[in-house]
Amino acid sequence: MEQLKLNNGQTIPQLGLGVFKVQDAGDLKSAVAEALKVGYRHFDTATIYHNEEWLGEALAESDVPREELFITSKVWNNNTTYDETITAFHESLKKLQTDYLDLYLIHWPSEGYNEKWRAMESLYNDGLIKSIGVSNFEKPHMEKLMTTAKIKPAVDQVETHPYFQHKELNEYLKSMDIAHEAWGPLGQGKSNVLEDPVLVKIAEAHDKSVAQVILRWHLQRDIIVIPKSVHAERIAQNINVFDFSLTDEEMSMIASIDKNQRGSGDPNDEEFLKGTMSRR
């Protein structure tokens, strides 16, 4: 597994397993067991996924030492104050059956994110979180955060895939020494990206699946990826992407198919953000 060094000196496995929308305990536990078996050590969840407890159980039942694992969770939008964020964090810690998190993120740039960040800085300084970051933040959100932040985010986790490449944000994050992490790296099944003829051609040339080509493309952009699957074959296939490389020409070919096509919520949509705050 390749590792990326974050701006605070910590390292993060560049590929992990996401568990978004995994709403069955058995499915999640079997997926985690399979992932651990084939070499995954990085697992990404969130309070709003309502599966932190199952992930905690699955990891506790394994024989992998805690120090070999990288666990991420996220504070949800209904927590808007310093105290609420501290409480939410400790609830996540308890569910995940661990003494610390490797990475804790603000899930969306909704109301109160500067106060949430202040709480996360405190947890970081107390040694309860190895790295802190954000999710779904674009440049204006990051600039507003940095007006009060004392610690720079280590990671920004945003929707990124070949039809929504976030090129400008990627360059901005590189200039800020903030790691770019992709959620929905395979397009979430909401577009026909896995059937794109450019990607199919490249996959055939490497005797790989289109999904493997997409994941390799992310890795070569220095992006962290967390593909989600509960199927053993795909879990194994998704990590089998470190034995080939895409050429500069192939990287350019993939760059050319960008449609700026967002598949999920827009962090610039204030009404959308307000609507999320009533969810629990």
70-75 and 101-106 as β-strands: parallel, antiparallel, unpaired?
parallel
Which residues participate in catalysis according to the annotation?
49
Residue 128's nearest CA partner among 181, 80, 73, 63 is: 73
Residue 13, phi then psi, degrees to nearest 5: -60, 130
Indicate if the alpha-carbon torsion angle 10, 16, 21, 27 is positive or negative: negative
| Residue pointed to by tokens 């967390």 | 226
DSSP the chain: --EEE-TTS-EEESB-EE-TT---HHHHHHHHHHHHHHT--EEE--GGGT-HHHHHHHHHHSSS-GGG-EEEEEE-TT--SHHHHHHHHHHHHHHTT-S-EEEEEE-SS-TTHHHHHHHHHHHHHTTSEEEEEEES--HHHHHHHTTT-SS--SEEEEE-BTTB--HHHHHHHHHHT-EEEEESTT-TTSSSGGG-HHHHHHHHHHT--HHHHHHHHHHHTT-EE--B---HHHHHHHH--SS----HHHHHHHHTT------S--TT-HHHHHHHTT--
